[in-house]
Amino acid sequence: MDFLCYLWLVILLFLRPSDFFQILDGIPLFWISSILTLLFSFSKVAALFSTRNFQAIPTIPLLFLVWLVAIPFSLLAPGRVNFQLAYDAVTTFYKPVSFFLFTLAIVDTPKRILIVCKWIPILAMVISGLALYDYFNDFYFGVFTHARETNPESPTGTTLRLAGHGTLADPNDFAVFLVMVSMFNFDRLLDRRLGIGRVFWLIPLGINTWAFSLTESRGAFVGLLASIASALFLRFGVRRSLLPLALILPIIFVGLGGRQTNLSLSSTTATQRIEMVGECYYYVKTYPVFGLGYGQISEWLHGLVAHNTYMQSMAELGFFGGSLFSCFVLFPLVQFLKVRPPLYRFTQPEMARLYLFLGGALAGFNFGILSLSRAEVLQTYLLLGLGTSFIRVAEREPNEPLPGFSFRTLGFALACGLGVIVFHYVMLRYFYGVNI
């Protein structure tokens, strides 16, 4: 029953039926479903807090340090203490924390991981199909927020970029989500056990790819390239992956084309985002300990966000808090790299195949959030939770446990934070020519 409740939560997260049916408006469906999920999975969630599990799963203490230490302290800095903001921030952030814990506690077998990863492309196909219908029929549903932007190359002088709804209401957010979806779709297409039935998975792949192309998101396109390259690397290694990558890349560039594959840094959007990341870097230098305060970046960027999850967390939470969050986001991908073949071998063929594409999804996400702010979106914690659960339950040889949480983990977190700062300094100073 706990798994059915969890799947219902995932459906609500993606489809948001209250957006389409007014009769459901005002009913806290997600909150009610979360309570039911907690009731049916309470023993499993509680077990995560045992000394053994809490230490064995480093992402849990990392997330709790962000939630209960970095976030409130960023709003209680000397000279700008605001207990109400700190309370609101902590009580709001419980949603992503609880969703992450539900994923770890409930998606606790290989079969359940495979089921979730199978249903995500189908749910995405429904969203994409509705968004496409809305896109081509003058905002038919009235809930999708397609973005109209100036485009000198268009005959009308503007272009309409497809978006989702709810937490995916931005074209870039929707596109990064579809990158993850595409990886799970490829996993199903390569499942030989399905035989001719694999053809069915071309339908969601085609609809979701069409939707992805109409988002015209360049950041998500880079994430897609990173996902494909990472999946090939995990399967073949660096050298052997170069040839298939060289064959695939031209097809992707030609197939998508247009604004999405124009990676020039001279565009207005790119210039604006580089400037915002530069401002975040300045705020990290100016407020290195407590940051600007969680959720306060828009007050400093004239109502905008940083469009870079790493630097926004650094600017809002300070170096230590931003380092913890960056480590939390990167940790599942790091663990995937630690168990890569030939160092380890997954004994179940389905999990061995999923390893490639879930690893690719994690890599694409980590690249995609270099141009997006996704710290509070639940889809982020779904993906990171699936990655963490995979490492826990996938049978592999040798069956050695990975290092748990320790002071070395905190050292690694600080190294992640330093790496984020150095990477962005080099990019801003030497590639973009920003005077910082």
What per-residue string of b and e applies to 248-263 under the rule 16 or more CB within 10 Å gives b?
Answer: eeeeeeeebeebbbee
Q: What's residue 160's pLDDT?
A: 86
pTM of the model: 0.91
Q: What's residue 391's pLDDT?
A: 92
Alpha-carbon distance of 403 to 59, in angstroms, equals 12
Number of CB atoms found within 10 A of residue 373's CB: 23
φ, ψ dihedrals at 43, nearest 5°:
-65, -35
Alpha-carbon distance of 359 to 369, in angstroms, equals 16
In the three-class reduction of DSSP (H, G, I as helix; E, B as strand; rest coil), residue 9 is classed as helix
Q: What's residue 152's pLDDT?
A: 55
Residues 65 and 324 sit within 8 Å (Cβ to Cβ): yes
Q: What's residue 263's pLDDT?
A: 64
Domain boundaries, the chain: 2-431
In the three-class reduction of DSSP (H, G, I as helix; E, B as strand; rest coil), residue 159 is classed as strand
Query: What are 242's two structure tokens?
Result: 């170069």
Alpha-carbon distance of 38 to 102, in angstroms, equals 8
Strand partners, 161: 147
Q: What's residue 401's pLDDT?
A: 80
Q: What's residue 265's pLDDT?
A: 60
Residues of the chain with pLDDT under 50: none
Q: Please, which residues have CB within 8 angstroms of residue 209's CB and are 6 or more apart in sequence?
A: 178, 182
**CB neighbour class for 138 (10 Å; exposed up to 12, middle 13-18, buried from 19):** exposed
Number of CB atoms found within 10 A of residue 433's CB: 9
Alpha-carbon distance of 336 to 362, in angstroms, equals 9
φ, ψ dihedrals at 396, nearest 5°:
-145, 160
pLDDT tens digit string along 275-312? 888 899 999 999 998 899 998 898 888 888 888 999 99
Alpha-carbon distance of 122 to 115, in angstroms, equals 11
Q: What's residue 218's pLDDT?
A: 83
Terminal-to-terminal C-alpha distance of the chain: 54
